[in-house]
Amino acid sequence: MPGKPNRFERLMPRGSLARHLLVRLMPAVLVLILMDVVVTWYFTGTMSVEEWLERDLFWAMLFSQLALLLVFGWVLITGIRSGLDSVNRLSHELSQRSIDDLQPLDTADLSSEIAPLITHINDLLKRLDDAVQAQRRFVGHAAHQLRTPLTGLKLECELMLAG
């Protein structure tokens, strides 16, 4: 079936944060691992283990592994931050809204993880807007219902004073 998603598509749907991180980070991680393997293979292939330990290359390799972990951590954090840009943009949009603005939030360019949340928030905003409109109609109707008898009483009082 052409419309049926494959296993990868079900695990990581288009627009999901996990897919974004995998696509953005995997090439960098593979390059770093490949560089580490090549450097380790080069050093261990050109000398014996005794020489390797004697020349303190063990410590050099250990420190290079730590440096690699730091670089990987930086790449990971950068990828996560870029994946959360839509959340930050949404947060900024919400902070700039006035208290009377009950318009639905923009759902364009959202990851699939946050889209259901925004849909539910938009539903909540719609129900809240409906409730506010119903309250305004009630207050307007009640004010009209109060003004009509008061106008009649005022008219009767004026007639009694005049007559």
Q: What is the pLDDT of residues 107-119, one digit of tens each?
A: 777 777 788 888 9
- The CA-CA-CA angle for residues 56, 61, 62, to 5°, reads 95
Displacement of CA 38 from its chain's centroid (Å): 38
The DSSP secondary structure of the chain, one letter per residue, reads --SS--HHHHHS-TT-HHHHHHHHHHHHHHHHHHHHHHHHHHHHHSS-HHHHHHTTHHHHHHHHHHHHHHHHHHHHHHHHHHHTHHHHHHHHHHHHS-TT--PPPP-TT--TTTHHHHHHHHHHHHHHHHHHHHHHHHHHHHHHHHHHHHHHHHHHHHHHHH-
The chain-wide mean pLDDT, for the chain, equals 80
pLDDT above 70: percentage of residues in the chain: 85
> Is the per-residue pLDDT at 162 higher than 90?
no
**pTM over cut 0.85:** no
Residue 149 in this model has a pLDDT that exceeds 50: yes
- Please indicate whether residue 139 or residue 2 has the higher confidence score (pLDDT): 139
| 1 — pLDDT class (breaks 50, 70, 90) | very low
Where do the domains of the chain lie?
7-83, 99-163
Q: Confidence band (pLDDT; 50, 70, 90) for 5?
A: low
Q: According to the model, what pLDDT value does residue 53 have?
A: 66
In SS3 terms, 61-89 reads as HHHHHHHHHHHHHHHHHHHHHHHCHHHHH
